[in-house]
Structure 1
Amino acid sequence: MSAVSDLRPDAQAVLLLVLLYTLQGVPMGLGAAVSFMLQERGADYSQQAIFSLVSWPFSLKLLWAPVVDTVCLPAAGLRRSWIVPLQTIIGIAMFATADYSQNLLHGGVEQAVKPMTALYFVMHFLCATQDVAVDGWALTLLSAKNVGYAGTINAVGQTIGYFAAFTGFLALEQAKLMSLGSFMLLCGALFLVSAAWVAVSPESRQVADKEDPEAARKRAAAAAAAPLAALASSYKEMLSIARLPPVRTLALFLILNRIGFAATDSLTALEMMKRGVSKTTLATISACITPISIVMPVVVGPWTARSPWRAWRWAYIPRMIMSLAAVFLIYALPARDADDHEPTHLTLTYYVAVMILLGLFSALSTVQFVAQMSFFSTVSSDAEIGGTYMTMLNTMSNLGSKWTTSAALYLAGSDVVRRLAVPQPPSWMSAPLDPFYTVNWACFVLGIVAMPVIFSIARRIESTPMPMWQVKGASDKE
């Protein structure tokens, strides 16, 4: 109750940020739905590895983030100068490519994978660019006492958008109420309506009045007078942040911390589809556990805001156990039959076990995500360079997630791992050594071996005094 009371003065800002983060989650969820549709049409892990590249713009946005943090139309404000045009472009792009996307899926997997990867890569690029603006905006829209809740708002908004575009679309598509093309038209309309609302509504303008503190206004004026010099200064600030010893330590942590979960994150649902479980069944399971992803950030938000690294460490070992349990659940699932039907002998108990396992895994993943975002918001809360700082930390986090996911998919589909496969294992093997098991066991072992190192780095980050995270002299710049 106290958390809700604390956020009440920032209610309008919170609602605006939830809307923007929700829309960012839509292309992510739609990309996941397309991945399922490709799998249903016979895509292998190598092709899924190619399609997984669509989310890489979130790991590369640091390259153009200083442009977003510097260039603006003074009348519109630093953040709205980007958010409104980007949402408009995304909406138009969805309208323009709706029929094309639908036709690609009808043309077969081989013909669809690379064009769909290119299309959704562009969509994610536009959303990643908006993410830079929204993350920076959150640091100035929220009051100082509530800036630690930025991670909670991010998690809630993106989860809602992901759920609507993934589970919602798959349910509508299965019921033959919508195709991919018609759903993209609907999403495009939502982006255009949102862009118009953010641009002209009195409520949005009232919230935006808090956007730029005095230091940021001076910065915007300097950017308008000498844009190239201001842009060079932004990249210099980014390099100054990257040189901070605590940031380099954090980068190492973010590169290593997801190795143990990589295979479970990227392969479990695809392996279930490969063994005959329909995408509708998986969408139903996702619908059942999505409320956990929405409620958990609110529940753990106060805890992660106070002790983010304690919360993160608390969730690590249980999440590793859930990753191991996922392997045994897949082992209990037989391969699809000769008629390509979903296994019929699976009981309700099995599906309940799957929902419990995935629900726990989602809850633990959410705890770690919100903890990281709370810490990022705290150390990057400087109003002048906070946007660049937040973008750098988020980019490093996304990179740590995406390289492990893409690597797991690539290895599961690679010839090297296939050669290790044993279709008919000897009696001493308790499970077939096929690519799914090989990659999962490898990730689990690496996660256990790396755990002391990861925990040691996390404690070092936790014990670093807050002034060590600051760029000296940043607040004195004009």
Structure 2
Amino acid sequence: MPKNGTSKEPMAVTSSLNSIHISPRTPRTPRLNMGVGEEEDVELELLNEEDRVHSARHFHDSEDDASILEMEDMSKRPISPKDKRNMVLLCVLYLLQGIPLGLALGSVPFLLKEHLSYSQLGTFALSSYPYSLKLLWSPIVDSLFFKSFGRRKSWIVPMQIIVGSLMLYISLNVQRLMDDPAHNVVELTTVFTMLVTFSATQDIAVDGWALTLLSQDCLSYASTCQTIGLNTGFFASFTVFLAFNSEAFAAKWGVPHITLAGYLRFWSVICFVITIWLVIFKKEDKEPASESDMSIKAVYKTIWTICQLKHIQLLIVVHLFAKVGFAANDAATGLKLVEKGLKREDLALVVLIDFPFQIMGGWLAAKWSRGDRPLRPWIWAFWPRLGFALIATLIVYWFPRPPISMAFFVLLIVHTVLSSFASTVQFVGISAFHTRVSDPLIGGTYMTLLNTFTNMGGTWPKWFVLKGIDLFSVATCKVPDAAVDVKECISDHGKALCKDINGVCITETDGYYIISAISIGFGIIFLVAFILPTARKLQRLPTSVWRVKMS
């Protein structure tokens, strides 16, 4: 075991997993028993919120109880061979999403860190926004398709071909782009934004496909398949790749040295192979006409109708600000550890230890989310995550000069495992809640609506965090035998000027600690004042009030 710095990296992994939230499938929950008359109108009907809640509680509480008992009975049935095969397929499809996400949100920013300022990294972070904005085009994915080819395959197949082609393009141009990243920030951001956009489109189709790909009694395992596939792909492209990309790691452990170009070409080929298999060997079952005949206009109208529900509006506010408390930790802690001297070749060991705990956390959270309090694990995990964010800030502050001691090495591993576990519990917990309340009538769009705001809650603070670090930082350039120091050594221009005159940048005030304090402070106040009472209120609502009425 090396005495060099060991990766606290999964904190950065955790950041991306929480800012990019892939929606699980929606179970087929009991529909409202509609009578005749106005309730059979083909248009979407939005009842007064209080009347709707009162009516739902009066007439449908018994149906919700019966539904819970039915789901518990289903959970005891053995999983069929067909469902097992389809679960593997879901894991593979989410794996293909995790690969480009791990590159765009993980390894590439780390490779660029020594060449770019935090503000420039904030610009590159914009490439993650498509996952937070996919609601804008999810109705198109849900409504347009070739019936003969398959509703979901009509999108999954071309999206994976495009993603594979983009990775091949990047592999052929990566040397040019990475040799002078300061002058190629716009091109790098553009190409990775496209990569994430097409991966997000594939995600919408996969979410909708799982409505028929998995049987009713196995839909509760959707978030577990999601966690396994996404985490595996993300870790492979982030920490594992960073380790094997290190020449020191390859020489020390006798493993092949993997370049970014070679890694991209490998996954490009894998993407093409899986896509060909889907086309030739996987037949998509037809979906009921009631779920596939909605026009694009009808789906957008449904989204607008859902957004007018008061409890949906409360949930949106919760999602938009829930992750601010961890924003500084998620966006910048990993980068700061690298800046402090953490070596990439030490990341692999931490990932190997942490990964099983990620999977176990997802499994436990799925079990804890059953019953009448589905948000319980998500609520419980808030306090540990805020505490681990504070500890992470202290670890950065007290990070010793390499080589680090064994005690500090163990501290990093324990902190990484526990913080990742808490993050995964929240990730799967909120997924399970969305799965429970979402209406399957419009396929993946209802889930995409909810997760759009979950994603935005983890995405929008990143730019402000990275910009804020530079804004609050004070650094000067110390030049030997010079009477006056260069005033500014924060921007890329200032660092380059300092280097040209043989100076050394000395940080007097690190904006990371100020931003971290603001982030954690806001997180605690918002949690106590708004999230806790609102979450408890939302999970007490019957499932029926989350539905939109259609004939």
Cα deviation 1:16-37 (Å, max 9, x = unaligned): 1111111100001112111110
Aligned partner of 1:393 in structure 2 is 450
1:379 Cα deviation (Å)? 1.6
Partner of 2:494: none
- Of the three residues 117, 137, 140, the one matched with 1:64 is 137
Question: Corresponding residue for 1:272?
Answer: 337
2:314 is the counterpart of 1:239:
no
Q: CA deviation at 1:87?
A: 0.5
Q: Indicate the residue corresponding to 1:344 in structure 2.
A: 402
Q: Which structure 2 residues correspond to residues 455-466 of structure 1 after superposition, within 5 A?
A: 455-466=532-543
Matches within 5 A, 1:227-306: 230-306=295-371
Instruction: State how far apart, in whole Å, the 1-side matches of 2:523 and 2:207 are.
Output: 30
- 1:468 aligned residue: 545
Q: Which has the higher helix share?
A: 1
Query: C-alpha distance in 2, partners of 1:252/1:181?
Result: 41
State the AA in 2 paired with 1:393: L
Tell me how far apart the structure 2 counterparts of residues 103 and 6 of structure 1 sit (CA, whole Å): 53
Measured in 2, the distance between the counterparts of 1:6 and 1:373 equals 23
How far is the alpha carbon of 1:295 from its aligned partner? 2.9
Residue identity in the other structure for 1:257: A
Q: TM-score, normalised by structure 1?
A: 0.87
- Greater relative CO, 1 or 2 (CA 8 Å, sep 6+): 2
TM alignment of 1:307-456, pairs within 5 A: 307-334=373-400, 343-382=401-440, 384-414=441-471, 417-418=472-473, 434-452=510-528, 453-456=530-533
1:338 aligned partner: none
Q: Which amino acid aligns with 1:200?
A: I
Q: Is the 8 A contact 2:474 2:509 kept in 1?
A: no
2:375 partner SS:
helix
The alpha-carbon deviation at position 283 of structure 1 amounts to 4.6
Moved more, 170-179 or 23-32: 170-179
Residue in structure 2 matching 1:168, options 234, 240, 245: 240
Residue 281 of structure 1, CA deviation: 2.5
1:236-285 CA deviation, whole Å, 9 max, x = no partner? Answer: 12212222222111101101111111111111110011112122324543
Residues 167 and 287 of structure 1 are in contact (CA less than 8 Å); yes or no, is this contact kept in structure 2? no
**Residue equivalent to 2:160:** 87
Asked if structure 2 preserves the Cα contact closer than 8 Å seen for 1:3 and 1:302, the reply is no
**Residue aligned with 2:456, SS:** helix
Deviation at 1:385, TM superposition (A): 1.0
Structure 1 pair 192–239 and aligned structure 2 pair: CA distance change class (3 A) = same
Structure 2: how far apart are the matches of 1:34 and 1:446?
30
2:111 aligned residue (37, 40, 57): 37
C-alpha distance in 2 between matches for 1:299 and 1:115: 42
| Aligned mate of 2:97, from 8, 24, 31 | 24
TM-score (norm 2): 0.75
**Paired residues of 2:107 and 2:237 also in contact (CA < 8 A):** yes
Per-residue deviation, residues 315-337 of structure 1 (Å, max 9, x unmatched):
11111111111111111114xxx
- Looking at structure 2, the residues matched to 120 and 305 of structure 1 have their Cα atoms a distance apart, in angstroms, of 37
Deviation of 1:67 (Å): 0.4
The answer (yes or no) to whether the contact 2:130–2:197 under 8 Å persists in 1 is yes
- Give the AA of the match of 1:122: M
State the shift of 1:406 in Å. Answer: 2.5
The answer as to whether partners of 1:149 and 1:374 remain within 8 angstroms in 2 is no
What is aligned with 1:131? 203
Q: Which runs of 5+ in 1 are unaligned?
A: 224-229, 335-342, 424-431
Aligned-partner residue type, residue 298 of structure 1: W
Q: Which amino acid aligns with 1:154?
A: Q
Q: Kindly tell me: are residues 136 and 459 of structure 1, through their superposed partners in 2, closer, same or farther at Cα, counting changes over 3 Å?
A: same
* Aligned residue identity for 2:391: A
Residue in 1 that maps onto 2:498: none
Contact 2:439/2:547 (CA < 8 Å) preserved in 1?
no
Q: Which moved more, 1:298-307 or 1:25-34?
A: 298-307
- Taking structure 1 as reference, are residues 3 and 276 closer, same or farther at Cα in structure 2, changes over 3 Å only? farther
Task: Give me the whole-angstrom Cα distance separating, in 2, the residues matched to 1:25 and 1:371.
Answer: 19
Q: Partner of 1:185 in structure 2?
A: 265
Q: 174-183 or 64-73, which moves further after superposition?
A: 174-183
DSSP 3-state at the match of 2:512: helix
